[in-house]
Amino acid sequence: MASSCLSFNASVSPNHDLFRRHPSSPLLRHRPVLISCTSPADGNNTTTPIETITKPRRTENTIRDDARLQRSTAANPFSARYVPFNAPPGSSEQYSLDEIVYRSRSGGLLDVEHDMEALKRFDGAYWRDLFDSRVGKSTWPYGSGVWSKKEWVLPEIDDDDIVSAFEGNSNLFWAERFGKKFLGMNDLWVKHCGISHTGSFKDLGMTVLVSQVNRLRKMKRPVVGVGCASTGDTSAALSAYCASAGIPSIVFLPANKISMAQLVQPIANGAFVLSIDTDFDGCMKLIREITAELPIYLANSLNSLRLEGQKTAAIEILQQFDWQVPDWVIVPGGNLGNIYAFYKGFKMCQELGLVDRIPRMVCAQAANANPLYLHYKSGWKDFKPMTASTTFASAIQIGDPVSIDRAVYALKKCDGIVEEATEEELMDAMAQADSTGMFICPHTGVALTALFKLRNRGVIAPTDRTFYNKLSSKV
Ligand SMILES: *Cc1c(COP(=O)(O)O)cnc(C)c1O
């Protein structure tokens, strides 16, 4: 077994030589980070500090206090609001982000619209440098891959209200052997969004939503708790972020349709868990009724705040590639919020001059839950929700996707494609990927099947720089 390395914050005893080195500054303590390695070769579980990194700080200050001290007194030039999604020109309907509203007056979806003119006062190079300068630091709240783009996410929230586990900044790696062996590709990459606090990319959206709820509660808005319907990963993320902020959470899960790993998380985090004898779409209907009647905030991706966090994964892909634009990005889709979030992230980078184009995107669905695929195949003619059948890719077993309009919009704008994967195809793709050391989840198997099909048809060329998203680390 490989040795495991842990890093953790620990206080050091006063006679530690760190203190002796700075006897003249009693108010200054050091923030010690002990990086310790335990390996079976040690023979026991004692930890051996191999390195100690310190940074001067005031004894009584937390990183939140440090952020407060650094806060600029200049007025914040950036803002955002809710508008109807894809509103007709001339529409004046808009809402403050501090209002509790999920749908437009006509019942349509909402979108978070940023004051792009204010953002455009700074050029692309400014934003690239700013975002790059924040990566990998422990500065509150910028140590998070989401909040390092705060001006583009929730520009007006006070740093003090943010609830974050420093999510994001997820690994990006080259699928060298898999690309060469099975696809004849030399520039195939994996964005592993599942390397995250609760093990899925849902953390990216949830930090934004729970932070805003935290703000609303401090403003004495009537929010007694936060609720969601979930195929598993959303409830894990919601319950963890709520628990971390001390906010009650309630989750509706379809009975016997989620993995044990996903069920354990909300229970352990102290959420009120209801296992209901229906499918995801049935749970979604119930939570919408309950959040309409009771002061419980709706955390599903119908809520456009989630997408503001999720779009940062797209910005990160560009950033990790030194702001070069890939040719293709493949995303598995269920409720279809994420495919739009990726589009939005790429599009903002183009509009604000960080890059000059956007990639083409592929949305991959399980053949057992493929309403978007059928809609695409019909030439976007008429959309028909369906009853999804069981699939190993349980997080995308959704027949009536909430964000259908967002997905269609995104795919049309980026010249996108929709593909599907049967159970056999997705399992084969998983086995092939695993044979090159990938250890992927079934949703990624769906994305890989789409990649196989598009390569075989010659749509994706051997040298196209292509990304696929591994959205969960739970199998
Ligand atoms: C949520 C989820 C998806 C689907 O994202 P949507 O926004 O619902 O389309 C795909 N894979 C995993 C692992 C997920 O948790």
Write down the residue that tokens 């530690």 correspond to: 16
- Nearest Cα residue to 248 out of 238, 259, 258: 238
What is the Å distance from ligand 1's center to 190 Cα? 16
Helix-strand-coil percent breakdown of the chain, rounded to 5? Answer: 40, 20, 45
- Separation between Cα atoms, residue 472 and residue 463, nearest integer Å: 27
- Nearest Cα residue to 360 out of 339, 376, 334: 339
Q: Whose CA is nearest to atom 2 of ligand 1?
A: 395
- Answer whether 302's CB lies under 8 Å from 102's CB: yes
Instruction: Choose which residue among 233, 262, 446 to substitute to test ligand 1 binding: the one with the highest number of ligand atoms within 8 A of its C-beta.
Output: 233
Query: What are the two backbone dihedrals, phi and then psi, of residue 39, each rounded to the nearest 5 degrees?
Result: -140, 155
Query: Mean pLDDT, to the nearest integer, of 316-326?
Result: 97
| H-assigned helices in 155-279 | 176-178, 202-218, 233-245, 260-268
CA 374 and chain centroid, separation: 27
What is the Å distance from ligand 1's center to 432 Cα? 22
> Does residue 307 line the site of ligand 1, with CB under 6 A?
no
| H-assigned helices in 298-414 | 305-310, 312-320, 337-351, 371-377, 404-413
The structure tokens listed for 273 are 């868990």
DSSP letters of 416-435? -EEEEE-HHHHHHHHHHHHT
Detail the DSSP E strand segments found in 54-200.
Answer: 56-58, 80-84, 95-96, 110-114, 172-174, 188-192
Cis omega (within 30 of 0) for bond into 295: no
Closest ligand 1 atom to 334 CA: 9
Tell me, yes or no, whether 159 and 76 share the same domain: yes
Q: Is the per-residue pLDDT at 421 higher than 50?
A: yes
Tell me, yes or no, whether 42 and 90 share the same domain: no
Tell me, yes or no, whether 395 and 319 share the same domain: yes
Instruction: Choose which residue among 283, 340, 443 to substitute to test ligand 1 binding: the one with the highest number of ligand atoms within 8 A of its C-beta.
Output: 443
Tell me, yes or no, whether 189 and 91 share the same domain: yes
What is the Å distance from ligand 1's center to 120 Cα? 32
- Separation between Cα atoms, residue 368 and residue 101, nearest integer Å: 33
> Does residue 396 line the site of ligand 1, with CB under 6 A?
yes
Write down the residue that tokens 């990998």 correspond to: 136
pLDDT-derived band of residue 73, with 50, 70 and 90 as boundaries? confident
Q: Is the per-residue pLDDT at 56 higher than 70?
A: no
- Answer whether 149's CB lies under 8 Å from 173's CB: no
For residue 346, what pLDDT is reported? 98
For residue 472, what pLDDT is reported? 87
Tell me, yes or no, whether 139 and 16 share the same domain: no
- Identify which has the larger pLDDT, 312 or 263: 312
| Residue where a domain terminates, one of 15, 33, 60 | 60
Tell me, yes or no, whether 348 and 461 share the same domain: yes
* DSSP state, residue 143: T
Per-residue CA distances from 225 to 214, 246, 305 (Å): 10, 10, 16
> Does residue 202 line the site of ligand 1, with CB under 6 A?
yes
- Separation between Cα atoms, residue 266 and residue 30, nearest integer Å: 36
> Does residue 443 line the site of ligand 1, with CB under 6 A?
yes
> Does residue 395 line the site of ligand 1, with CB under 6 A?
yes
Instruction: Choose which residue among 335, 392, 400 to substitute to test ligand 1 binding: the one with the highest number of ligand atoms within 8 A of its C-beta.
Output: 335
Q: How far apart are the first and last CA of the chain?
A: 20
pLDDT digits 0-9 by tens, 269-283 = 999 999 999 988 899
- Nearest Cα residue to 221 out of 97, 103, 108: 97
Q: Whose CA is nearest to atom 8 of ligand 1?
A: 335
Q: Whose CA is nearest to atom 14 of ligand 1?
A: 395
Tell me, yes or no, whether 94 and 126 share the same domain: yes
Tell me, yes or no, whether 161 and 50 share the same domain: no
pLDDT digits 0-9 by tens, 209-238 = 999 999 999 999 999 999 999 988 999 999
Q: What angle do CA 242, 211, 224 make, to 5 degrees?
A: 55
Q: What single letter denotes the amino acid at residue 12? A: V
Closest ligand 1 atom to 407 CA: 9
- Which helix (H) or strand (E) segment is 446 a member of? helix 442-456
| Residue where a domain terminates, one of 35, 60, 85 | 60
For residue 318, what pLDDT is reported? 97
For residue 263, what pLDDT is reported? 86
Query: Mean pLDDT, to the nearest integer, of 1-5?
Result: 38
> Does residue 200 line the site of ligand 1, with CB under 6 A?
yes
> Does residue 335 line the site of ligand 1, with CB under 6 A?
yes
| Residue where a domain terminates, one of 36, 60, 84 | 60
Q: What is the mean pLDDT of the chain?
A: 88
Query: Mean pLDDT, to the nearest integer, of 367-394?
Result: 96
Query: Mean pLDDT, to the nearest integer, of 357-374?
Result: 98
- Answer whether 93's CB lies under 8 Å from 105's CB: yes
Tell me, yes or no, whether 135 and 92 share the same domain: yes
pLDDT digits 0-9 by tens, 99-118 = 999 999 999 999 999 999 99
What is the Å distance from ligand 1's center to 470 Cα? 10
| Cβ neighbours, 10 Å, residue 122 | 16
- Which helix (H) or strand (E) segment is 293 a member of? helix 280-293
Count of all residues that appear for the chain in the document: 475
Total count of domains within the chain: 3
Which CATH number fits the domain that encloses residue 230? 3.40.50.1100
- Separation between Cα atoms, residue 445 and residue 329, nearest integer Å: 15
Q: Is the per-residue pLDDT at 345 higher than 90?
A: yes
Statement: the pTM of the whole predicted model exceeds 0.85? yes
Tell me, yes or no, whether 122 and 207 share the same domain: no
The structure tokens listed for 258 are 């989620």
- Separation between Cα atoms, residue 356 and residue 334, nearest integer Å: 29
Instruction: Choose which residue among 265, 305, 396, 448 to substitute to test ligand 1 binding: the one with the highest number of ligand atoms within 8 A of its C-beta.
Output: 396
What is the Å distance from ligand 1's center to 100 Cα? 24
pLDDT-derived band of residue 19, with 50, 70 and 90 as boundaries? very low
pLDDT-derived band of residue 57, with 50, 70 and 90 as boundaries? low
Instruction: Name the pairing type of β-strands 225-229 and 249-254.
Output: parallel
Domain span at residue 251 reads 201-305
Tell me, yes or no, whether 408 and 362 share the same domain: yes
pLDDT digits 0-9 by tens, 144-187 = 999 999 999 999 999 999 999 999 999 999 999 999 999 999 99
> Does residue 336 line the site of ligand 1, with CB under 6 A?
yes
> Does residue 334 line the site of ligand 1, with CB under 6 A?
yes
Closest ligand 1 atom to 474 CA: 13
pLDDT-derived band of residue 48, with 50, 70 and 90 as boundaries? very low
- Nearest Cα residue to 175 out of 438, 430, 362: 438
What is the Å distance from ligand 1's center to 74 Cα? 39
Tell me, yes or no, whether 111 and 241 share the same domain: no
